[in-house]
Structure 1
Amino acid sequence: MKFINDPGFFRPGRHAAWLLVAALAAAPSFAATDIQVWHTMDEHNAGAFQDLVKAYNRGQSDVQVKLRAFESPQKLEAALDEAARAKNLPALVELGDDQMLDQIAQRSYIQPFYTQQNNPALKNTPWFLSSDNAFIYDAKGRLMAFPYMLEIPVMYYNRDAFKKADVEPAVPQRTWIELQGQLVSLANNGSRKCPLTSDLPVSINLENLAAVNNQLFASEGNGLKAKGLPSFSFDSTYVRHLSLMISWVRSEIMVGPQFGPQSVDRFAAGECAILMSNSGHIGRFNDKRLLRYAVSGLPYYPEVTKQPGSPFVSGAGLWLTKGDKPRTEATVQFLAWLAQPEQAAKWYQRTGFLPLTRAAFEQTPDTYYKNMGQWRELVAVYSQKASATGQGFRIANYPSIRARFHQILDSALEGQQPAVTALKLAATEANKMVRQK
C-alpha cells in the first residue's frame, strides 16, 4: 500500500473527507432490481427479444431483465398458477391469443397496463394499433397489456415456386376460386407435395372467413355489444367455403390437417408454395437465405364483398403483474425503453409482429419492404379505425369453443363428415358453451 507523505493530510477538513471516502467504500452496494419476464415465443423471436434485453441490461445498472421461456402457453399458465400461490410472480408475462381480455384482467395478480400509462416514461407514447381494436383494448379504449406480440394472419408465397410453375401473375390471387386454378398449376409444376398448407384452420376457415369478407363472426356485434349473449350461425358462405376446402384436400392441392403443425417448418424449408399463417414468422423467414418469399392478404369471396376486409388481430401482449413500487417503476422504465423508436422499429422488422408505435412503422425504410409483396399495405390499415366486423370479438369460454371448432374442422377436412353437418354441429355446440358458467 502506498502511503501519502503529507503533513497537512491529517488536518481536520482533510481528515473528515478521508473518513467519508472510507465509509462509502465500506458501505454495501445496492443490487439492481430484477425484472422477470416469462414468454412462449418461438426460437427466432425469442432470440430477437434476448438481443434487446441484453442491450438494455448493458446500458444501465439499476435494472436487470431476466427472461424465462416456456414451450407452450399451457406450461406457462401452470407455472404462473404456482408462482401466484407462492407469491413469487414475474413482473411481465406473455398472455393472449385465445385468452380473453376480461378473463385475464380479473385475475387478482394482474395490473392492467393502462394504470401505468400516465407514468412520465410512457405518457403520450403514440401506439400503432387503433384504440378500437378489441384484442388488446377494453371497451373504453384502454390498453390492457403492452401490445408487443400482436400479429395478423397472412398468405405467404414462395416466389421461386410461382416462377417455376410459370404462374402469371406470379402472385397468389385474392379470390378463393382464382387461387384454386393457381394451386392446380403449382401442383402440376413442382409443388405436388405441398401446394398449400396452413396451421390455422379455425382462424382461416371460420374467424377470418367472416372478417375478410366483412361479415360478423358472431351475433351481438361479435359479442362486443352488451345487449345479450353472442351466438353462432354459419350460413351458406361457410358451407360453400368448407366444401371447397374439403375438395382441395381430397384433390391434394391443399395439405391435410394432420400435417398442419409442420406447415411453418415446411414453408421455411422451401417445400411449400403457399402458407397461410400468422405474420409473426416473417423475421424467421427473412433469415432464410435460400427462401425467396413474399406476403399477400387472405383470399375473399367477391360474391360476398366487393373489397376484402382486414383479418382479426391475434397474438399476445405483455401483462403487468402487481408488485411493490420499485419493481413496478423498474418494469415501466423497461417497457418505455422498448417503446422508443429505435428499439420498436428493430422489433417490428425482426419479427413480423405489428409495429408497437407509429414511429416504429414510420421509421422503417422502404428497403425493408422490398420483395415483401403487400406486407406494408396489410400492416398500415391497423393504425386506422377498425371496421365493425374487424374490431375483434368477445365470447365467453372461447378457448374451449376454439378447441372444439378445431376438432370439428379437422374431421370435416379429413372427409369424415360433409361441410353442412360439421358447421351445424360447430354452431350448436358453441352456442351451448357460450352459456356455460
Structure 2
Amino acid sequence: MFRRPLRLATLLASTLVLASPAYAVTEIQWWHAMTGGNNDIVNRLADDFNTSQSDYKVVPSFKGSYPDTMNAGIAAFRAGTAPHIMQVFEVGTATMMSAKGAIKPVNQLMKDAGEPFDPNNYLPAITGYYSTSKGEMLSFPFNSSSMVMWVNLDALKKADIAEIPKTWPEVFEDAKKLKAAGYTTCGFSNAWATWAHIEQFSAWHNVPIGSKANGLDGFDTELKFNTPLHVKHLQTLIDLQKDKTYDYSGRANASESRFSSGECPIFLTSSGYYASAKGTAKFNFTSAPMPYYPEVAGAPQNSIIGGASLWVMGGKKPEEYRGVAKFFTFLSDTNRQARLHQESGYLPITKAAYEKTKADGFYEKNPILQTPLRELTNKEPTENSRGLRFGNMVQMRDIWAEEMEAALAGQKTAQAALDAAVTRGNAMLRTFEKSAK
C-alpha cells in the first residue's frame, strides 16, 4: 500500500530536478550579416558549438547588410532587446567605441569569465584595429578580410591577355581588350565603392585618408582624399564609364554576382568573397593584389583590413556572458580557425592558425587565399596605412559614394565631387566629436 505514493513522490522529484534551472540551456543571440556560403559557415559554427556542450545554445540570426545589422543592434539596445553578440563591420568601430554602456569590452568579458585570452595570440594587423591605444581589445575578431582583385582567367585567355594586370594602367588597357572580346557591359568593376577607391586606394598608395593617422590617433581629424592622385583616379573612372570599360556596381556588395556570373571579368571586392565565388563561378578564376599607379613613390604600400568583428552588448546576465566567453574560446581553436580561413577566404585571426595552414602546405595548392595576407604584410604599416577610425563612418561612406556617383553620372567634375565629399565628411566628423564627448 506504500508503493503507489512512493512512485508518485519519485516521479515528482524527478520532474522537479529536470525542471531545475541548473539544467536549463542559456540562449546566446548572435546577430550577423553573412550571406551565401558564409551564412552556411556561421550556422555550422553555431551548431558545432551547441553540440560540443549542453549549457549554452548560440542562436544566429541574419539581420541584413552590415549597416542594417548595426542599425538594428543599436535600435534594439535602446529598446532593451539587444542581442548578446553583434557582428559589426570595421568602419563601425569608432561608433561602437563611443557608445558608452552599450558594449562590454571583450578583454573584460574573458577576464570576468576566467577564459584563457591573450591578445598577442591574434594577428597584430587585426587586433590593433579593434583595440584601444593601451592595447585593450574591445571586440572579438571574426571575419577579417582585405580587398583583392578577382580575375576571370578564362576571360583573359579569350582576350589574349597573357598576364594578370598589376597596375591601374594595365587594368584599364586590359579592360578595353576584354570589351573587344565580348564582355561589352563591363570590362572591370568593384563592390564597396568607397572602400575600393578611397580607403584601400589611399592606404595602398601610402597617402592619407585623413589626419591623425586616419583617425586612429584621435577623433579630431580632417579628411584629405581630394588630392591630385585621387582626382586623377576618379576622372579616369568617369571617362571609362562612358563606354562601359569601367561600370559602377553600387555602394555595397550586392553586385558581386557580376563577377561569378561572368559579366565582369575583373572585379575588386573582399577576399571574403571566396566562398561565394567558389560555389557559383563556372570558370577558372584567381585573386591578385589590388592594382596601383607605378609613378607613385613607394606604391604599393600595404592594404588595410575589412570585414567585421563580434561586439558583446551590455546589460546581460553573468551566466550569459560566461556563455559568450566560452563561445569565443571555441572560435579561437587553432584547427577551427584554420578550417574557417580555408573555407571562407577570410583571414586566420590567430598566428597559430596561420602557421598551421602554411605548415600543412595549403597555400602552395591554394595561393588564392594568401593574396590578402601578402597585401596586409607587403610593407610595414605607416601613418597612412595602419587603418582608419572615423566616427559616423557608415553615414560618411554614403556621402562619399553619393559624390562619386554624381561625378560618374557627369553631374560634377572629379575635383568638385571629392572636394564636396571631404567638406561634407568633415562636418559629420565635427558632429560626431560633440556626441562622443
The normalised TM-score by structure 2 is 0.87
Name which of 398, 404, 409 aligns with 1:409: 404
Partner of 1:357 in structure 2?
350
Partner of 2:301 in structure 1?
309
Which structure: larger Rg? 1
How big is the shift at 1:216?
Answer: 1.3
**Closer, same or farther: CA 217–292 of 1 in aligned 2, 3 Å:** same
Alignment of 1:52-67 (within 5 A): 52-67=45-60
Aligned residue identity for 1:234 = N
The C-alpha deviation readout for 1:79-104, integer Å capped at 9, x for no partner, is 43453345343211111233133544
How big is the shift at 1:307?
Answer: 3.6
Q: What is the alpha-carbon distance in structure 1 between the residues aligned to residue 366 and residue 129 of structure 2?
A: 30
Q: Match of 2:124, SS?
A: coil
**Closer, same or farther: CA 381–20 of 1 in aligned 2, 3 Å:** farther
Q: What is the alpha-carbon distance in structure 2 between the residues aligned to residue 255 and residue 381 of structure 1?
A: 25
Q: What is the alpha-carbon distance in structure 2 between the residues aligned to residue 78 and residue 243 of structure 1?
A: 33
Q: What is the alpha-carbon distance in structure 1 between the residues aligned to residue 229 and residue 32 of structure 2?
A: 38
The C-alpha deviation readout for 1:121-166, integer Å capped at 9, x for no partner, is 3323654431686532222222211100222111100111111111
Aligned residue identity for 1:416 = Q
**Closer, same or farther: CA 254–333 of 1 in aligned 2, 3 Å:** same
Name which of 186, 210, 229 aligns with 1:237: 229
Q: What is the alpha-carbon distance in structure 2 between the residues aligned to residue 37 and residue 298 of structure 1?
A: 33
Name which of 256, 264, 267 aligns with 1:264: 256
**Closer, same or farther: CA 183–239 of 1 in aligned 2, 3 Å:** same
Name which of 177, 186, 190 aligns with 2:182: 190
Partner of 1:70 in structure 2?
63
**Closer, same or farther: CA 199–345 of 1 in aligned 2, 3 Å:** same
Q: What is the alpha-carbon distance in structure 2 between the residues aligned to residue 140 and residue 381 of structure 1?
A: 26
Aligned residue identity for 1:308 = P
Q: What is the alpha-carbon distance in structure 2 between the residues aligned to residue 393 and residue 417 of structure 1?
A: 27
Q: Match of 2:407, SS?
A: helix
Q: What is the alpha-carbon distance in structure 2 between the residues aligned to residue 259 and residue 140 of structure 1?
A: 34
Aligned residue identity for 1:144 = L
**Closer, same or farther: CA 381–95 of 1 in aligned 2, 3 Å:** same
Partner of 1:300 in structure 2?
292
Q: CA RMSD in A?
A: 2.8
Name which of 413, 418, 422 aligns with 1:423: 418
For structure 2, list consecutive stretches of 5 or more residues without a partner in the other structure: none
The C-alpha deviation readout for 1:348-401, integer Å capped at 9, x for no partner, is 12222221211222222434563544x415315647963322111222333222
Q: What is the alpha-carbon distance in structure 1 between the residues aligned to residue 260 and residue 158 of structure 2?
A: 18
Which deviates more from structure 2 when the two are superposed, residues 110-119 or residues 149-158?
110-119
Q: Match of 1:310, SS?
A: coil
Partner of 2:211 in structure 1?
219
Check conservation: 1:101, 1:144, Cα contact below 8 A.
no
Name which of 244, 254, 269 aligns with 1:277: 269
How big is the shift at 1:257?
Answer: 4.4
Q: Match of 1:155, SS?
A: strand
User: Whose helix proportion is higher, 1 or 2?
Assistant: 2
Paired residue total: 418
Partner of 1:12 in structure 2?
none
Q: What is the alpha-carbon distance in structure 1 between the residues aligned to residue 279 and residue 101 of structure 2?
A: 41
Q: Match of 1:65, SS?
A: strand
Check conservation: 2:74, 2:82, Cα contact below 8 A.
no
Check conservation: 1:280, 1:352, Cα contact below 8 A.
yes
Check conservation: 1:101, 1:138, Cα contact below 8 A.
no
How big is the shift at 1:245?
Answer: 1.0
Aligned residue identity for 1:424 = D
The C-alpha deviation readout for 1:40-66, integer Å capped at 9, x for no partner, is 111321111111211221222111111
Q: What is the alpha-carbon distance in structure 1 between the residues aligned to residue 334 and residue 136 of structure 2?
A: 22
2:15 corresponds to 1:37 = no
For structure 1, list consecutive stretches of 5 or more residues without a partner in the other structure: 4-14
Name which of 180, 191, 197 aligns with 1:205: 197
Check conservation: 1:128, 1:382, Cα contact below 8 A.
no
Check conservation: 1:105, 1:111, Cα contact below 8 A.
no
Q: Match of 1:99, SS?
A: helix
Partner of 1:9 in structure 2?
none
**Closer, same or farther: CA 356–121 of 1 in aligned 2, 3 Å:** same
**Closer, same or farther: CA 105–45 of 1 in aligned 2, 3 Å:** farther
**Closer, same or farther: CA 81–395 of 1 in aligned 2, 3 Å:** closer
Aligned residue identity for 1:311 = S
Q: What is the alpha-carbon distance in structure 1 between the residues aligned to residue 339 and residue 218 of structure 2?
A: 39
Q: What is the alpha-carbon distance in structure 2 between the residues aligned to residue 355 and residue 103 of structure 1?
A: 23
Q: What is the alpha-carbon distance in structure 1 between the residues aligned to residue 372 and residue 72 of structure 2?
A: 36
Q: What is the alpha-carbon distance in structure 1 between the residues aligned to residue 18 and residue 408 of structure 2?
A: 66
**Closer, same or farther: CA 178–99 of 1 in aligned 2, 3 Å:** same
Partner of 1:47 in structure 2?
40
Q: What is the alpha-carbon distance in structure 1 between the residues aligned to residue 231 and residue 60 of structure 2?
A: 45
**Closer, same or farther: CA 224–22 of 1 in aligned 2, 3 Å:** closer
Q: What is the alpha-carbon distance in structure 2 between the residues aligned to residue 20 and residue 235 of structure 1?
A: 80
The normalised TM-score by structure 1 is 0.87
Aligned residue identity for 2:266 = I
2:114 corresponds to 1:124 = no
